[in-house]
Amino acid sequence: MKNLTYSIPQTSFRTECLDSRSAGDPARSSFRQSEMFELIWIKKGKGAFTVDLENRQIADNTLFCLFPGQINRFTAGPDLVGYKIAFSREFLCGENALPHLPPHLDYAGRSRKLEVLRLNHEAQTEVESIVEMIIWENDNRQRLWAQMLHGLLKVLIAHFPSKFGAAGVGQSLRTDYQVFNRFMGLLDHKFTFQRQVSAYASDLAVTSNYLSEIVKRVSGYSASYHIQQRVLLEAQRKAVSSGASMKCIALELGFDDPSTFSKFFRTLTGINFSDFRKTWHKGPDPRQ
């Protein structure tokens, strides 16, 4: 299957075949950062996946979901066959395809753990059929092909359950989710220079107390906790995926003093920056 990409203003979509040779390419042995959402279906074979500091072994009939910004490293064992479908938020939601992201893909439905599904025989047959149709539509680009891809993606995404997608969720709770998602979206763009809850509340035209209450109600954690953890997550990503010095990374993340960053990192992780980086340079064994 050929790698295919199309780009029109603010939209992108790509399909890719995964096998032992491509996944074992030295260029892919280091960490890479996802620019889009990625649905990865392993039809058969074994291997190892590391996503945002979590190692997972993979096997036949597994479906993975990666989010934009996540760093990942894929190591394939022999005889692996799989497919990757990558798409942007704009592709899925643009041109009246969807008013917003499906609950599983938006911030309220995410967690820091890698989403992995082991498919039973019935689900495997359905996923295989959907993936084949997506590949065909992308290869042939018949009339209404973009609309067909939108629909097929929605069905594929629906295999990942989400408690936030329940029909019985009340309007007030849906409003909470919307505010939380907007807060997390702003955080993704501003965490390197904006660290105060009050600043995000101002951006959202709400009070700090109101924002804090909603974030706590939806996620179980405070807004300040999310800000702190977002900075730490990016520091960890850069530690294992970049060769930049601690001083450069500290500056990129908005710390004027590397010693302040070093203390921040050690306090939250229990390990110093250099030791953390060394720990993650060794990849998982795909033969296990």
Tens digits of residue pLDDT in 50-87: 888 888 888 888 888 899 999 998 888 888 899 999 99
pLDDT at 165 over 50: no
Token pair 């029909």 in the structure block, residue? 167
Looking at residue 86, its pLDDT comes to 93
- H helix runs in the chain, sequence order: 20-23, 89-93, 121-140, 145-157, 171-190, 197-203, 208-219, 223-241, 246-252, 258-269, 273-279
pLDDT at 262: 97
> Smallest Cα–Cα separation from 52: which of 114, 107, 141, 135?
114
Written as six digits, the tokens of 213 are 């209450």
Domain ranges of the chain: 4-164, 171-279
Residues in the chain: 288
Question: Where does residue 243 rank: exposed (0-12), middle (13-18), buried (19+ CB within 10 A)?
Answer: exposed
Q: What is the SS3 assignment for 52?
A: coil
Average pLDDT of the residues of the chain: 84
Residues 6+ apart with CB under 8 A from 117: 62, 63, 64, 123, 159, 160
Give the domain 171-279 fold. Answer: Arc Repressor Mutant, subunit A (1.10.10)
pLDDT for the residue numbered 169: 52
Q: Which of 37-51, 168-182, 228-242 has the highest mean pLDDT?
A: 228-242
Q: What is the pTM of this model?
A: 0.82
CB 12 within 8 A of CB 90: yes
pLDDT at 253 over 90: yes
> What is the structure's pLDDT at 282?
56
Most confident by average pLDDT, 44-58, 94-108, 228-242: 228-242
Residue 102: predicted pLDDT = 80
Question: Is 46 exposed, middle or buried (CB count within 10 Å of its CB: 0-12, 13-18, 19+)?
Answer: buried
Write down the pLDDT at residue 162: 61
Cα–Cα distance between 5 and 86 in angstroms, integer?
Answer: 10
Strands of the 47-51 sheet, one edge to the other? 32-33, 71-76, 47-51, 54-58
List of residues 6+ apart from 185 with CB closer than 8 A: 107
Q: Is the pLDDT of residue 243 over 80?
A: yes
- Residue range 226-241: mean pLDDT, rounded: 95
In the predicted structure, residue 193 carries a pLDDT above the cut 90: yes
Give me the mean pLDDT over the 103-123 stretch: 80
Q: Is residue 122 a contact partner of residue 85, using CB atoms and an 8 Å limit?
A: no
Question: Over 50: is that where the pLDDT of 279 sits?
Answer: yes
Q: What homologous superfamily does CATH list for 4-164? A: Regulatory protein AraC (2.60.120.280)
Indicate the range of 55-59, 138-142, 164-168, 240-244 predicted with least confidence. Answer: 164-168
Q: What is the pLDDT of residue 109?
A: 75
User: Does position 215 have pLDDT exceeding 70, yes or no?
Assistant: yes
Residues of the chain with pLDDT > 70, as a percent, come to 83
Task: State residue 29's pLDDT score.
Answer: 58
Residue 212 near residue 226, CB atoms below 8 Å: no
φ, ψ of residue 37 to 5 degrees: the values are -70, 145
pLDDT at 206 over 60: yes
Rg of the chain over CA atoms, in angstroms?
Answer: 20
Give buried/exposed letters for 94-119 (b at 16+ CB in 10 A, else e).
Answer: beebeeebbbbbbbbbbeeebbbbeb
Tell me the C-alpha distance between 92 and 78, whole Å: 34
What local confidence, expressed as pLDDT, does residue 59 receive? 83
Q: Is the per-residue pLDDT at 166 higher than 50? A: no
Lowest mean pLDDT among 55-59, 82-86, 132-136, 268-272: 55-59
